[in-house]
Chain A
């Protein structure tokens, strides 16, 4: 199925890199590296040059921390969306928010995609996406409250819960008026999950793909990778890329990451193996 995310249209064999650009002073990986306007725009220039298809801009860290009001979140995100739109008229801009007020202001500034990473906490977000012909990402959190950590969470059937909740959110978005080709589902690694759960969600990506909805995976540098490999947050690149390779081969289509160039290369190799991309140069044994 062709994927249409605002002004971006992608074929069913395209593997898309979504670059994380945090407008936060305290996110777990970059710790405020793109908090300043100049640094954030420099990060955008870099990731575009490295092959990003989507820029994902977030104004509130996912983990617990200081309360960020909708007004403050909009202040962090919306002017920057406008600036990125000016600099890159064709790039797909995503906004990582669960609040419809922020989503609306971002769409007015030129955003194409609502990354609802807390899974439908604010149902009006889908209506905003529909109103602006934007896309929406429907994420599984197991019903977790935004910005909370999992504590002894348990699922009778993890994949059934993921599939049921994400497809239900997708159907709600569809009913709200978001076109089918603009709705994406995300298993929500580490959101409402322990490491075993996130590993299982990774291992069983194809079951999510088989629902027919396009799948996004966001595994970059997350704790389940750190706990699997016993690596601190700044040493999780190889684990992150491994998860990208496996989920891409299983059929996921969008990969939300910090390391864009490395991910782009992994995805090109996966596509080459899958037979959906021609190798760059094939002279070995053919001269």
Chain B
């Protein structure tokens, strides 16, 4: 296994400088996202894989244009690489943009996983990624509930507080069994896109133990963001063949 570290951030366009306006309303979660991405970069990966949920499972070329113009704003200012006609899905484009903004200049591998995929598919993808001979970092894109306040995108869901607490607790305590059992129906109901990326991660780490450092866990504009650095425990690192 070669997955040396991971970072969890939301696929929130508001994290991209220039998209959130001059008052920088998301400065605190943006700083936290940068912090966890810089932790990941500091771990020294050869390649960073960015993974998000989407309508189907597929890979994207690193040279695909980000196409952030689709979100409005950034007219003529998009720092997009490449010229491929195939634009990145918005979550991956946001992830790539924030990762570059955090200072990563190396290779990026972009993966989308079908949002309806079962946990078995996510675990298998994680194992497959971990089979790489390279030292890999993983950026997990996902938020908890997007129904966390009355003004939230999905309005207020009465179970959102409990859902957010469960989400954060499972990650903080590395509760692999709980993450494995996350319900796709619950995540859909809460407009959360955080299930499969975390399940891919535990697949990559062989469902072994990991440690978590959470730098941000709060709602922003009704969406509950978690920014966390995740690393495998020593035993997992050994089995990963670190230093090969």
Contacts and interface: CB of A to CB of B under 8 A. Distances in A.
Interface of A: 63-65, 148-156, 158, 193-197, 199-200, 227, 230
Contacts of B23: 230
Given A151-B191, A227-B21, A64 B155 contact: yes
A151 B70 contact: no
Contacts of B191: 151
B76 interface: no
Given A156-B87, A230-B23, A150 B72 contact: no
Interface residues of B, number: 20
Contacts of A199: 72
| Residue from B12, B21, B191 with most neighbouring chain A CB atoms (10 Å) | B21
B153 interface: yes
Given A149-B154, A196-B71, 9 more contacts: A63-B155, A65-B155, A151-B154, A152-B11, A152-B12, A153-B71, A154-B71, A156-B87, A195-B72
Contacts of B87: 156
A194 B16 CA distance: 15
Nearest to A149: B153
Nearest to B93: A154
A150 B67 CA distance: 19
29 contacts: A64-B154, A64-B155, A65-B155, A148-B154, A149-B152, A149-B153, A149-B155, A151-B154, A151-B191, A152-B11, A152-B13, A152-B71, A152-B91, A152-B153, A153-B71, A154-B67, A154-B70, A154-B90, A155-B72, A156-B70, A156-B87, A193-B72, A194-B71, A194-B72, A195-B72, A196-B71, A200-B72, A227-B21, A230-B23
A148 B155 CA distance: 8
B241 interface: no
Contacts of A151: 146, 153-154, 191
Contact of A196 (B72, B153, B154): B72
Interface string B1-23: 00000000001110000010101
B73 interface: yes
A150 B153 contact: yes
| Residue from A148, A152, A153 with most neighbouring chain B CB atoms (10 Å) | A152
A140 B66 CA distance: 25
Interface string B57-74: 000000000010011110
A161 to B, nearest CB: 10
The 5 A-B pairs at the shortest CB distance, nearest first, are namely A196-B72, A151-B153, A64-B155, A154-B70, A196-B73
B192 to A, nearest CB: 11
A195 B221 CA distance: 14
B72 A197 contact: yes
A193 B146 CA distance: 17
A208 B146 CA distance: 33
Contacts of A158: 72
Nearest to A227: B21
B155 to A, nearest CB: 4
Contacts of B90: 152, 154
Contacts of B146: 151
Contacts of B91: 152
A182 B13 CA distance: 40
Nearest to B12: A152
Nearest to B73: A196
A153 B11 CA distance: 12
A227 B25 CA distance: 11
A195 B146 CA distance: 18
A171 B114 CA distance: 36
A188 to B, nearest CB: 14
A155 B87 CA distance: 12
Contacts of B11: 152
A226 B67 CA distance: 26
A156 B86 CA distance: 11
Interface in B153-187: 153-155
A233 to B, nearest CB: 11
Contacts of B155: 63-65, 149
| Residue from B19, B71, B152, B154 with most neighbouring chain A CB atoms (10 Å) | B71
